[in-house]
Amino acid sequence: QKEVEQNSGPLSVPEGAIASLNCTYSDRGSQSFFWYRQYSGKSPELIMFIYSNGDKEDGRFTAQLNKASQYVSLLIRDSQPSDSATYLCAVRGSAGNNRKLIWGLGTSLAVNP
Amino acid sequence: EPEVTQTPSHQVTQMGQEVILRCVPISNHLYFYWYRQILGQKVEFLVSFYNNEISEKSEIFDDQFSVERPDGSNFTLKIRSTKLEDSAMYFCASSGQGTSTEAFFGQGTRLTVV
C-alpha cells in the first residue's frame, strides 16, 4: 500500500515566522510531488509542485525534495494569518502512465497575529 | 483564469437514489479525475479518464460508479444507488499533457446521503 504521511499538527507559528511542513512517502519510484492548501470546507488549491531533488522557490514558498530519503517539505516564510489552513502533500505514482495523486492527511497550520 | 467548475455545490439525496455530479474541466486539459474526501479523512482517488476512456480506477470505484464525457465539455460522475457511506465531498480535477503536469481542482460537490 503506497502511503503519504504528514504530521497532522496543529502547527502553530507567530505571524512573520517560518512555517515548516513535512511529508514522507513510501513509493520510491514516485515522480512528482505537490503541495496543496485546503481551507475548511473548500477544495485543494495548488501551491507548488516539484520533481527534482533540491529546492524550488516561489515567492514566500519553498519546496524541498530529497528522493533518497523519500522526503518532501514546504517552507512558508513571513507567515501570515491568511496562511492558516491545512496543507496537503500529494504524490504522483511511478507505475506506467499512472497519474493519480496519493494524498497525506494534511498538516493544520495556525498563524497567530 | 481558467478553472474547473462543478455543479451542484451541495446535493442531498435519499439512500438508494441515483445522483449525477457534473464537472466542466479546463478546456485544453486532456486528463480528468474524480476524487472524494470524507469529512476528516484523506483525499481519495476514484478514477482517471483520458481519451474517452477510464485510464485508472481505485477499489472504491466499484460497479455503483460510472463516469462519462457526454459532450466536449462536461465530465460526469454517476452513483447508481447511493449509500450512507457515499456522503463526502467529491472533487473533479483536470490536468494537461506531460509527466508532471499539475492537477487543478473544482470547488467540489458536497454529497449528503440520508
Quick check: B56 and A100 CB within 8 A?
yes
C-alpha cell at B6: 462543478
Mean pLDDT of B2-27: 96
pLDDT at A84 over 70: yes
Question: Minimal Cα distance from B95: which residue of A?
Answer: A99
pLDDT tens digits for range B55-81: 999 999 999 999 999 887 899 999 999
Spatial separation of the C-alpha atoms in residues A87 and A5, rounded to whole Å: 12
A99/B43 touch (CB, cutoff 8 Å), yes or no: no
Task: State the maximum Cα–Cα separation within chain A, in Å, rounded to a whole number.
Answer: 46
pLDDT above 90 for A17: yes
Tell me the mean pLDDT in the region B29-58. Answer: 94
Give the best residue of B6, B39, B50, B102 to mutate against chain A (max A CB count within 10 A): B102
Residue showing cell 495523486: A101
Percent of chain B at pLDDT > 90 equals: 82
Residue of A31 and B1 predicted with greater confidence: A31
pLDDT value at A1 more than 80: no
Contact A98 B56 (CB under 8 A): yes
B105 in contact with A at a CB cutoff of 8 Å?
yes
Q: For residue A73, is pLDDT > 70?
A: yes
DSSP 8-state class, residue B3:
-
Which of chain B's residues have a Cβ under 8 Å away from the Cβ of A65?
none
Give the pLDDT score at A98. Answer: 67
Q: How many other CB atoms are there within 10 angstroms of residue A3's CB atom?
A: 13
A10 prior amide bond cis, ω within 30: yes
pLDDT beyond 90 at A94: no
Asked if B37 and B89 touch (Cβ cutoff 8 Å), the reply is yes
* Band of pLDDT at residue B99, cut at 50, 70 and 90: low
Percent of chain A with pLDDT over 90: 82
Q: How many angstroms separate the Cα of A12 from the Cα of each of A31, A110, A111? A: 31, 5, 6
User: Which grid coordinates belong to A51?
Assistant: 520533481
Cα A12 to Cα A67: distance, rounded to the nearest angstrom = 27
Q: Give me the amino acid identity at A80.
A: Q
pLDDT bracket for residue A38 (50, 70, 90)? very high
pLDDT band at A8 (very low <50, low <70, confident <90, very high): confident
Which class for B36: exposed (0-12), middle (13-18), buried (19 or more C-beta within 10 A)? buried
